[in-house]
Structure 1
Amino acid sequence: MSISVDTFFLNPQFQGTLQSQIQQMIAEGILSGRFRQGEKLPSSRKLASHLGVSRITVTLAYTELLANDYLTSRGRSGYFVSENAPEPPPFTNIRQSGDTVDWSRAIGRKYTGGDTPRKPLDWSSYRYPFIYGQTDSGLFDHANWRLCAIQALGQKDFSALTTDYCDLEDERLVEFIVRHTLPRRGIVARPDEVLITVGAQNALWLTAQVLLTQRRTAAIEDPCYHALRDILTQSRCHLAPLPVDRDGLPPEAIPPETDVIFTTPSHQCPTTATMPMGRREALLKRARELDALIVEDDYEFEMSFLNAPSPALKSLDKDGRVIYVGSFSKSIFPGLRLGYLVGAESFIREARALRASVLRHPPGHTMRTAAYFLSLGHYDASIRRLRIALKERSEAMHEAIQEHGLNIWGQGAHGGSSFWMRAPNGTDTNKLAEKLKQDGVLIEPGKPYFFGQNRPREFYRLAYSSIPADRISKGIQLIANVLNV
C-alpha cells in the first residue's frame, strides 16, 4: 500500500530546517502508527512538488531516515517503511493540540448509559452460542445474495445504485412489501403508507420522535426490548411499564393517560408469548377508548414453524391507529439493516421528513439487492430452509431442557428462535453467564429487559438460531451443571 502524498503538510511555525521537518513528519507518522511497515512513501520528486521544496531536500531527509532504519530502499521501486522501524504501542493516539473543552457542560443531552447490552463480537468462536439474532452462515443463501448484489451493480440498475433518492426509497422494494409481504400478515397498504428504514430499531426511533413529547405517555411492556426502552427514555416522554403475563400485554392495565402503546403481540420480546385473538381485540378496543395509538413490532413472524402465524394486529385495525414495524434484518441477516414502517399517510409523511433530515435514505444498492433477492424467490426459499432448521433445533432444545430439569418460562406458540428461561430463585444470571463463558457457553441474562430498580435477575434467554442442533444437548447439560452446583 502506498502512503498518499496528500497526508504531508509543512508547518509554518516549525523551528528548524525543511529537511529536519520532513524527517520529523515521517518519523512521527511511523511512531504514531499512521505509516505501517512495508508501506511505500511518495517519490522524492512527487513529495518535493507537493510541498513546494527542492527535490534534494526530500532526498536528504529520506537518506537520513534510511540511515536510522526508519526507511528502506528497494532498488528502483522507491522508499518503504522499514520492517525494522520502531513499532508504535497499541492504540497510540498523538493529539495535535490539547482538549480544553469541558464536555460535561458542552453536551446538552446524553445518549450513553442505556440498558442495551453489547453482544460478544467473537460469539461464533464459542462452541455453544445460545445467542439471539446472529446469522448462522450454514443457513444463509450467500450464493444467491451475491448474484443479486452483482445484478444490482449492473448498468441496468445504475440509477438505483447512484441516485440520491432524497426522501424516497427503492420503488421495487416498496412494491414487493406492499404486494407480497404485507398481505401475508393480512395488511393492505398503499406505497405512500410505507417507509423503508435502517432496520426495525430505526423505525421505532422515528416513530417515537414523531409521536411523543415530554407531555405524552407511552405504555411499554415489562419486560421489553431493551433498545426500545432506551429510545423512549431519550425521548423524555412519560413511561408506563406494564408487566406482561403468558398472553402478553394485558389491555386492562393500560393507564387512562396513555397516548402511545408499544407492543409485540405476535412474539412478545423477550418472553416469546403470543397474544390470543380475544386479547388483541380487547387491546384495540382499549386503544379506541383512550384515543391512543398502537405501535406493533412484528419481528420474527417468518419463524412460524409450529403453526401458521396469527394475523397482525394491524390487519384487525379498522381505525388506522396501529403503526406497523417490520424488518428483514432478522430473517435475512442482521447486518442488512433494512426495515419498514406502515401507517397512515400523514404519519409516514412526517417520519419520511425526519428520516431525510438524519440519513436521507437507506443505501440504494442495499435496497435494490434486497428487492431482487425477494422478488426472485430466494427469500421464500431461505425462509423455508430456516423454518426446517429452527424446528429441528427447537425440538432438540425442548428435549434437552426437559432432560436436564431446566425451567421454561416462555415459548412462542408459533415458533420463533429462542426460549425465555427462569433459573432457581436467587440466581444471578449475569454471574451465571460469566461462569458459562469458561465452558464455551453463551447465554443472555434477562435483567436488561426489565424496567425499574429492583429488576429480576433469575431470567435468561436461550436462542437456538446460531447453534447447530448436534451441540444443543451438551450445551444445555453444561448450563444445568453450573445451575445445580
Structure 2
Amino acid sequence: MRASQHDLMWRQLLPTVRKHDEPLQVQLCTAFVTAMLEGRLPAGTRLPSSRDLAMLTGVSRNTAVLVYERLVAEGYVDSRPRDGFFVCGAISPTQQAQPWPEPAVQSPDWSTRMHRPQSTVAWADRPPTWREVRYPFIYGQFDPKQFPLTQWRQCSRQALEWKAVDRWWQEGENVGASQLIDQLIRRVLPRRGIAATHDQVLLTLGRQQSFYLLARLFARPGSVVGVEEPGFRDPRNAFAHDGAQMVSLPIDEHGLKISPQLAQCDYLYCTPAYQCPTGVTMSQGRRLALLEHAHLHDQVIFEDDDDPETEYDGRALPALKAIDTAQRVIYLSSLSKLLSPGLGIGYIVAPAPVIEQLRQLQRLMIRQIPGNNQITAALFIQQGHYDRLLQQAREKLQVRAMAMAAGLREALPDAEFAMPSGGATLWLKLAGQHDLLSLYYAGEAKGVLFDPGNAFCSEPNTMTRPGIRLGFGSIAQEMIAPGIRELGRVINAHAKRPVIVRS
C-alpha cells in the first residue's frame, strides 16, 4: 500500500510526457525544477531512482539518467554514490506574494486620470482558440510546417557565438548601421524598387509599433488622416488615438479612388500592393494619379506593404515609394508575414530627418530591437535562405489560391471573387443579404473561421454588399477543399434565414 501511495505522489508531481511537445528530457527537468522552486519538493527529498523515474513517466532509462545528470550539473540535485539522488540543500523555494488586502483608504479615481482615445477603438481579432478550429481561413498567421526551421536554427546558432553576442547590445552605437538594416538595404528593399541609405531605415517591433510611432509623430488634434474603407482597423485606431480626424476613403477595382474626400486629408494610409481586406492591387495609373494628388494638396502618404514580394509570377509592381520622386511616401513593412508573426521585426523607410525623430520617439519606449533576432534574421537573409523561402512561398500560395478558387466555384457559384495574383487572401462577395456577425458564429460552430467584411468598416452596417475575407496562408493544402465545402453549406443555410437589422 505504501509503495502505491509513493508512486501516486510522484505521478502527481511529474508530468505526463508528450512525445510531440518539447524534448522529453526538457519536460522532466522543468517539472522537477518547478516543484523544487514552488516548495513541493523540499531540500533533502530523496528522488526516485533512474529506473523508477523511467517507469513512472514512461520514458527510457537513458532519458531518465540524462535528466538527473542535467539536474546535478545545474546544482538542483545532489548525487550521493550508492545512496541515490536528493534535492540540493542550497535550493530555496520562491517566496509567494500575498494578495493585497482591501484598501483602508480611498484609491485614486483612475477614470479621471487616464488619457482615453478620442474615438472608440475597435479590433478585428480572431478567437484565441483558432488553432483548434478545423478550417482556419484566416489571415496573418503562418503555416509552421513551411517554416525553414533547420536554416533558421543554423543562423540562430551563429547569432549565439561570442562575437555575435557582443553585437546584441547597441546602445551608444550607430544603431542605423546594424547588420539587419544593411541586409534590408542590399537584398530586400531593392526587390520593391526602393533605394535607401542606413539613416533612412528604422527597425521596429513589427508593423504595429510602426503605426504607433507614425501616429505619435504626425497625428494631432486638427490633422486629418484618410484611411481605406473597408480597411485595416489598427492604423485607424493608432491615428485616432491622439485626436486626429479620420476620413474614410472609397476603393474600387484599381485601389484607392481619387475622391473628393481625399482632398480633405493631410495624411493618408493605404495598402497598394494587396489592399486590406479586398486584396486589390492598385494599378500603375492610379499610383501615379495618387502621387500627383499628394503633390498638389501637400499630402504625406503612409504606404503599408503588408505582404510584399508574394506575387505568384514574381513580377510585382514596384512599391509606391519606388516611384515617389518628391519624398512624400513613408514606407512600412515587416518580415513577419513570410517568416513568423512572433518575430516582431518591422521597418520604416523615410527621409533621414523623419527617421531621426522616429528613433527618438522609439527610444522613449525601448532601447533597441532585440539584438539576437536582428542578427539571426540578417544571417538568414545574407545566406540566401530568405530568397529560397520567398520562392517556395510563392509556389505554395499559388497552388492554394487555385484550390480555393476551384472549391468556391463549385460550392458557391453565385458568389463573386477575383482570382488572387499574389498574397494569401481572397475577397468573397456573397450573393443576397447576410447578417455577417451571425454568419461568422454559424461558421465558427461548424469549425470554419473567416474574417467578416464589416469588421474592416468604420460603420459596420454601411457595406453595400456583404463580403468575407478568406485567408489561406495557415491552412493545410489538403484541408482547403473540404473546408470550402463546409463554408458553402454554412453560407447556403444562412442565406435562407431572415436578415437581422441592427440599430
* Fold shared by both chains (TM-score > 0.5): yes
1:94 is matched with 99
- CA drift at 1:240: 1.3
Counterparts of residues 397-416 of structure 1 (less than 5 Å): 397-405=404-412, 411=418, 414-416=421-423
CA distance in 2, matches of 1:36, 1:446: 49
1:468 is matched with 476
CA distance in 1, matches of 2:283, 2:403: 26
Residue from 185, 198, 212 that aligns with 1:178? 185
Q: Any idea what the Cα deviations from partners look like across 1:373-397, whole Å, max 9, x if unmatched?
A: 1111111111111111111110000
Q: Pick closer, same or farther for the CA change 1:364–1:307 going to 2, 3 Å.
A: closer
CA distance in 2, matches of 1:269, 1:147: 35
Residues 187, 381 of structure 2: 8 Å contact kept: no
Residue from 301, 314, 317 that aligns with 1:310? 317
User: AA paired with 2:257?
Assistant: P
Bigger drift between 222-231 and 431-440 goes to 431-440
Bigger drift between 408-417 and 426-435 goes to 408-417
CA distance in 1, matches of 2:247, 2:205: 27
Q: Pick closer, same or farther for the CA change 1:379–1:325 going to 2, 3 Å.
A: same
1:53 is matched with none
2:228 is matched with 221
Bigger drift between 154-163 and 368-377 goes to 154-163
Counterparts of residues 37-436 of structure 1 (less than 5 Å): 39-40=40-41, 94-98=99-103, 100-110=107-117, 114-164=121-171, 168-169=175-176, 171-306=178-313, 308-405=315-412, 411=418, 414-436=421-443
- CA drift at 1:474: 0.9
Q: Pick closer, same or farther for the CA change 1:405–1:390 going to 2, 3 Å.
A: same
- CA drift at 1:36: 8.4
CA distance in 2, matches of 1:75, 1:313: 66
CA distance in 2, matches of 1:167, 1:118: 37
- CA drift at 1:122: 3.0
Residues 302, 331 of structure 1: 8 Å contact kept: no
User: AA paired with 1:121?
Assistant: P
SS in 2 for 1:138: helix
CA distance in 2, matches of 1:202, 1:76: 45
Q: Pick closer, same or farther for the CA change 1:340–1:435 going to 2, 3 Å.
A: same
CA distance in 1, matches of 2:146, 2:348: 27
Q: Any idea what the Cα deviations from partners look like across 1:288-318, whole Å, max 9, x if unmatched?
A: 0001111111111222114511111111111
SS in 2 for 1:196: strand
Q: Pick closer, same or farther for the CA change 1:301–1:229 going to 2, 3 Å.
A: same
Unaligned runs of 5+ in 2: 1-33, 45-84, 494-503
The TM-score normalised by the length of structure 2 is 0.76
Residues 408, 420 of structure 1: 8 Å contact kept: no
Residues 333, 348 of structure 2: 8 Å contact kept: yes
SS in 2 for 1:325: strand
Q: Any idea what the Cα deviations from partners look like across 1:267-287, whole Å, max 9, x if unmatched?
A: 111110111111100000000
Q: Any idea what the Cα deviations from partners look like across 1:174-208, whole Å, max 9, x if unmatched?
A: 11111121111111111101111111121122112
What percent of counterpart residues are identical?
Answer: 32
CA distance in 1, matches of 2:243, 2:311: 36
SS in 1 for 2:309: helix
CA distance in 2, matches of 1:225, 1:350: 25
Q: Any idea what the Cα deviations from partners look like across 1:415-469, whole Å, max 9, x if unmatched?
A: 1101112233331222222122222211112222112363438321111111112
SS in 1 for 2:473: coil
SS in 2 for 1:324: strand
User: AA paired with 1:146?
Assistant: R
SS in 2 for 1:207: helix
- CA drift at 1:137: 1.2
- CA drift at 1:100: 2.3
Q: Pick closer, same or farther for the CA change 1:428–1:265 going to 2, 3 Å.
A: same
Q: Tell me how large the CA RMSD over aligned residues is.
A: 2.9
CA distance in 2, matches of 1:76, 1:332: 42
CA distance in 1, matches of 2:311, 2:115: 44
CA distance in 2, matches of 1:112, 1:469: 41
- CA drift at 1:230: 0.9
Residues 173, 367 of structure 1: 8 Å contact kept: yes
SS in 2 for 1:461: strand
Residues 269, 303 of structure 2: 8 Å contact kept: yes
CA distance in 2, matches of 1:425, 1:111: 36
- CA drift at 1:412: 6.7
Q: Pick closer, same or farther for the CA change 1:141–1:112 going to 2, 3 Å.
A: farther
SS in 2 for 1:326: strand
2:69 is matched with none
Q: Pick closer, same or farther for the CA change 1:417–1:75 going to 2, 3 Å.
A: closer
Q: Does 1:444 align with 2:451?
A: yes
1:7 is matched with none
CA distance in 2, matches of 1:428, 1:127: 23
- CA drift at 1:95: 2.3
Q: Does 1:477 align with 2:482?
A: no
Residues 136, 448 of structure 2: 8 Å contact kept: yes
1:49 is matched with none
Q: Pick closer, same or farther for the CA change 1:472–1:448 going to 2, 3 Å.
A: same
User: AA paired with 2:357?
Assistant: E
